[in-house]
């Protein structure tokens, strides 16, 4: 799918776009070989400027005299400043700044304003311009202009933003992806600092000391000027630049740069604030342009051509793309201030997009000329002409697995599925969208299996009870098939893929007719809950029976009550109206669920209890690799039928021969475990996946290698009560190791896994799984 709308990017060699700022003077620093000298300090009578990676110094007005300092070069005094200045290399020893940086770490308890004060409040005005210039036709521009006013409160070292006003020229109301986009951070004393949705390792945090090299450029009477750079070359999450540190070891100015697949510059300016003499941020300027190619960066959370910085291969027209963002901070208060309690990390005013022209005239911290206004009005007309807003809405829905049609959104997961019981399952389903109603929804689906020749269907409806907590009361009826031993969490976020790999190989299903009533509620920003009561009628598709006392039953009624919770203690969330957006998923994420199946008093034939607990954690390494851990425990007791027991997500087709079992690898499944080989009433599993940094073979070919280790142990109570089916338990512990090479071609890759340990099979071939993988991000 290719949808062409807005291309982002940013200008690196000059002081930002002509629409938002102006360049007055540029001086280039070179050595006697005409090589540029980056990260030099130039001091004039009224300002201090740092050179960028191209050796350029940018001044608001032409300087008359300069003092220039650079690592590895002799200091130079220039009385007659020309457009180019040559510095002479120095043979003197380069001075390490490690001692100074250690002092910065030590004194951060006193200099970090987020730590030294119980409460800090301030305001911010931000303006962002995204402009795509066509070299072939300069008048043919696609642009995005955004401005925002916010209030911040810092409590317990964590900032919370209250967006008072948000304007995107050409859009009738705020776009969630723009609202939730993290353009830049504020505090360099944190472990990471975000720039355009990427978390970079901060050079001012002690945990990152080992990955940066620090060199003293110059020491004045009041400041240290320190150059920092990565020690390694293969680190995508490290920066380079210059720090200005005062004699109290407090950061007072910073310039950072990234110059590879994406070129970015960030300037952060500080001003001393009395009475505590703290350096507080006054301005942050971010500038970006396409780099050497290869890394798509998207404003709208997708790799499709909507809000994309660049393509894998840079077209000639993309080289002039620009992004410029400037934030102005003001109205600081270090005294505790009464503000409305805000549970969410970002809260958007309901009328944030309806502010008047008079409001913006009073709140803008940078002037907007009449010429600029006409330009942005032209941008709005371009967006309307190209139907951009409609395309963005479609894209947001597709990322969640829906395709909007008028007031209805079709559920793409219901269209086509394949499994060994139903054969080819064809269906259609969906639900009403917000344009139909914000407070009421109705949906459903219908499907038909070509192999079992049976129709499946479901209907559901919901009503919004509480807008602030997104509390919904839902009613549903389903007549469908379920996998034996499957287990899912009500509160797990919806995961959409073009197809679900394991479904192709599943062989053991049961039929279920279920009527349910549920209450969904977000208790707070970090805790999502759902309570559900249901009555189910169960029927078998295989010759299975459960021994209930002295009677073997194949069909039975179940009445259940379920409570499910999902806790994300470190994740960041945005709330706008009744929309909740996970700005940044941080780990751990813990899901828990308890199910009580009630007996004859409530119309059920069996009484039993199930507990499920799962924790997920992802650790991101500085070299763009990451390690995933998933640990899960399941426990059931009472009269538990096999249909409602647990399996460990097997994914090996029940066939002889490696190539005959060639199929699609799952996400958290055991690739060498055969279907229906093991069932459990007590089960614990551990999945460890380490994804190496992509191999950059070319701009389009970037495969990823994944190293995998999976383990499971379990047992089954009263195994003799289950008739007609033979299965094993996992009481000796199951292990497999694997490797994947993903994204080789169009999202396709290869997977290899090997079963070892207690359940290693006598036939060597039976322990091996060889499959293909499919990873496609829309």
DSSP string over 287-326: EEEE-SS----BSSSSSSSSSBS--SS--GGGGG-EEEEE
Any domain includes 11? no
Burial class (CB in 10 A: 0-12, 13-18, 19+), 335: exposed
Considering the chain, what percentage of its residues have pLDDT values greater than 70?
84
pLDDT at 80: 87
Q: Extract the tokens encoding 625.
A: 């690799």
Q: Looking at 283, 314, 344, which one is the last position of a domain?
A: 344
* pLDDT band for position 498 (cuts 50, 70, 90): low
User: Is 450 domain-assigned?
Assistant: no
Residues 338 and 475 in one domain: no
| CB burial of residue 314 (10 Å; 0-12, 13-18, 19+) | middle
Q: Identify the pLDDT of residue 304.
A: 31
Report whether pLDDT(306) > 70: no
**Residue 121 in 3-state DSSP?**
strand
Same domain, 337 and 478: no
Contact 600, 558 (CB under 8 A): no
CB-based contacts of 701, cutoff 8 Å, min separation 6: 744, 745
**Mean pLDDT, all residues of the chain:** 85
Contact between 545 and 554 under an 8 Å Cβ cutoff? The reply is yes
> Into how many domains does the chain fold?
2
**Residue where a domain terminates, one of 344, 368, 397:** 344
pLDDT for 463: 97
**Least confident residue range of 347-361, 468-482, 525-539, 609-623:** 347-361
User: Count of CB atoms within 10 A of residue 39's CB?
Assistant: 24
Cα–Cα distance between 228 and 245 in angstroms, integer? Answer: 13
Task: Name the least confident of 7-11, 174-178, 272-276, 372-376.
Answer: 7-11
CA distances from 505 to 42, 285, 391, 649, 729 (A): 67, 53, 36, 11, 21
Residue bearing the bigger pLDDT, 560 or 117: 560
Least confident window among 244-258, 657-671, 677-691: 657-671
Query: What are phi and psi for residue 104, nearest 5 degrees?
Result: -60, -45
Instruction: State whether 585 and 728 are in the same domain.
Output: yes
Q: CB of 226 within 8 A of CB of 100? A: yes
Q: Is 620 part of a structural domain of the chain? A: yes
Tell me which residue of 390, 103, 42 sits closest to 242, measured CA to CA.
Answer: 42
What is the helix (H) or strand (E) element at residue 59, kind and residue range? Answer: strand 56-59
Report pLDDT for 223: 95
- Tell me if 219 is assigned to some domain: yes
Q: Closest by alpha carbon to 539, among 555, 557, 515, 558?
A: 555
pLDDT higher than threshold 50 for residue 7: no
Residues 6+ apart with CB under 8 A from 732: 713, 757, 758, 759
* Residue 387 pLDDT level (bands cut at 50, 70, 90): low
**What is the rounded CA–CA span in Å between residue 196 and residue 205?**
20
Domain boundary among 327, 344, 361: 344
Write out the DSSP string of 236-255: TT--EEEEEEETTS-EEEEE
With cut-offs at 50, 70 and 90, classify the pLDDT of residue 478: very high
Q: What is the number of residues in the chain?
A: 778
Residue 496 inside a domain? The answer is: yes
Of the listed ranges 30-44, 400-414, 420-434, the least confidently predicted one is: 400-414
Banded pLDDT at 132 (limits 50, 70, 90) = low
* Band of pLDDT at residue 369, cut at 50, 70 and 90: low
Q: Is 98 helix (H, G, I), strand (E, B) or coil?
A: helix
Q: Would you say residue 636 lies in a domain?
A: yes
Domain region containing 635: 467-774
Whether residue 268 is contained in a domain is answered as yes
Task: Give the residue with greater pLDDT, 294 vs 99.
Answer: 99
Crossing angle of helices 370-385 and 388-399, in 10° steps, is 60
Residue-wise pLDDT for 588-631, tens only, equals 999 999 999 998 889 999 999 999 999 999 999 988 899 999 99
**Confidence (pLDDT) at 337:** 61
pLDDT score of 312: 43
> How many Cβ atoms are within 10 Å of 494's Cβ, its own excluded?
9
Which CATH number do you get for residue 535? 2.40.160
Report residue 392's pLDDT band, with 50, 70 and 90 as the boundaries: low
- The mean per-residue pLDDT over the stretch 336-361 comes to 82
Asked whether residue 106 is domain-assigned, the answer is yes
Using DSSP, state whether 328 is helix, strand or coil: strand
Residue of 633 and 497 predicted with greater confidence:
633
pLDDT at 361: 86
Residue given tokens 């006193």 in the structure block = 110
Q: Running DSSP on this structure, what letter comes out for residue 624? A: S
**Whose structure tokens read 């062989």?**
507
pLDDT bucket at 139, cuts 50 / 70 / 90: very low
- Within 8 A by CB and 6+ apart from 142, the residues are 5, 6, 7, 131, 132, 382
Tokens representing residue 192 in the block? 């990471």
> Number of H helices and number of E strands within the chain?
6, 45
């Amino acid at each position: 799918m290719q949808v062409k709308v807005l291309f982002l990017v940013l200008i690196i060699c000059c002081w930002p776009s002509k629409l938002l700022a102006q360049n007055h003077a540029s001086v280039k620093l070179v050595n006697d070989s005409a090589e540029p000298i980056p990260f030099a300090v130039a001091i004039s009578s009224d300002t201090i400027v740092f050179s960028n990676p191209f050796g350029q110094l940018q001044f608001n007005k032409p300087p008359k005299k300069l003092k220039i300092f650079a690592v590895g070069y002799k200091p130079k005094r220039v009385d007659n400043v020309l457009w180019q200045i040559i510095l002479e290399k120095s043979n003197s020893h380069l001075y390490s700044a490690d001692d100074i940086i250690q002092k910065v770490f030590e004194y951060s308890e006193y200099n970090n304003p987020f730590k030294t004060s119980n409460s800090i409040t301030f305001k911010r005005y931000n303006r962002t311009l995204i402009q795509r210039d066509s070299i072939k036709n300069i008048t043919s521009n696609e642009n995005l202009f955004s401005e925002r006013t916010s209030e911040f409160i810092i409590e317990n070292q964590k900032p919370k933003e209250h967006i008072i006003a948000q304007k995107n020229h050409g859009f009738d109301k705020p776009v969630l992806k723009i609202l939730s986009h993290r353009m830049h951070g504020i505090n360099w004393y944190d472990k990471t600092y975000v720039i355009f949705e990427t978390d970079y390792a901060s050079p001012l945090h002690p945990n990152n000391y080992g990955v940066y090299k620090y060199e003293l450029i110059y020491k004045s009477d009041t400041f240290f000027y320190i150059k920092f750079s990565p020690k390694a070359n293969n680190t995508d999450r490290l920066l380079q630049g210059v720090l200005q540190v005062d004699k109290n070891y407090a950061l007072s100015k910073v310039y950072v740069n990234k110059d590879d697949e994406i070129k970015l510059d960030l300037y952060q300016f500080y001003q001393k604030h009395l009475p505590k003499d703290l350096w507080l941020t006054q301005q942050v300027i971010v500038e970006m342009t396409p780099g050497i190619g290869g890394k798509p960066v998207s404003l709208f959370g997708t790799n499709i051509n909507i809000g994309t910085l660049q393509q894998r291969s840079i077209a000639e027209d993309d080289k002039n793309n620009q992004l410029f963002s400037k934030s102005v901070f003001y109205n600081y208060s270090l005294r505790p201030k009464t503000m409305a309690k805000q549970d969410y990390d970002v809260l958007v005013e309901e009328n944030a997009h309806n502010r008047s022209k008079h409001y913006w005239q009073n709140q803008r911290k940078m002037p907007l000329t009449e010429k600029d206004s006409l330009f942005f009005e032209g941008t709005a007309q371009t967006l309307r002409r190209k139907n951009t807003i409609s395309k963005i809405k479609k894209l947001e829905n597709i990322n969640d697995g829906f395709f909007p049609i008028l007031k209805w959104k079709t559920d793409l997961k219901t269209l086509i599925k394949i499994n060994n019981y139903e054969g080819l399952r064809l269906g259609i389903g969906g639900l009403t969208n917000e344009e139909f109603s914000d407070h009421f929804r109705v949906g459903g689906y219908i499907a038909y299996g070509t192999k079992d020749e049976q129709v499946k269907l479901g209907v559901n409806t919901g009503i919004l009870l509480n807008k602030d907590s997104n509390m919904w009361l839902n009613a549903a009826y389903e007549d469908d098939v379920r996998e034996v031993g499957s287990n899912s969490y009500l509160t797990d976020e919806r995961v959409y893929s073009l197809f679900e790999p394991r479904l192709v190989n599943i062989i053991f299903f049961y039929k279920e007719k279920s009527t349910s009533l549920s209450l969904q509620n977000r208790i707070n920003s970090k805790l999502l809950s759902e309570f559900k009561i249901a009555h189910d009628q169960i029927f078998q598709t295989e010759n299975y029976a459960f021994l209930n006392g002295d009677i073997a039953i194949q069909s039975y009624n179940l009445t259940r009550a379920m409570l499910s919770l999902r806790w994300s203690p470190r994740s960041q969330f945005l709330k706008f109206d009744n929309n909740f957006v996970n700005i940044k998923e941080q780990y751990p994420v813990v899901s828990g669920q308890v199910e009580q199946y009630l007996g004859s008093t409530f119309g059920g034939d069996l009484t039993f209890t199930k507990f499920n607990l799962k924790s997920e954690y992802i650790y991101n390494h500085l070299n763009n690799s990451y390690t995933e851990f998933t640990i899960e425990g399941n426990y059931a007791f009472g009269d538990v039928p096999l249909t409602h027991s647990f399996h460990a997500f097997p994914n090996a087709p029940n066939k002889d021969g490696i190539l005959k079992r060639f199929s699609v690898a799952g996400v958290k499944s055991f690739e060498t475990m055969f279907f229906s080989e093991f069932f459990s009433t007590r089960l614990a599993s551990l999945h460890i996946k380490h994804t190496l940094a992509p191999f950059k073979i070319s701009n389009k070919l970037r495969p990823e290698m994944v190293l995998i280790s999976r383990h499971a142990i379990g047992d089954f109570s009263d195994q003799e009560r289950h008739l007609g089916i033979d299965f094993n338990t996992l009481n000796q512990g199951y292990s497999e190791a694997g490797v994947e090479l993903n994204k080789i071609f169009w999202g396709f890759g290869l997977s290899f896994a090997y079963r070892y340990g207690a359940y290693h099979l006598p036939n060597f071939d039976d322990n091996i799984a060889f499959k293909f993988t499919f990873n496609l991000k829309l």
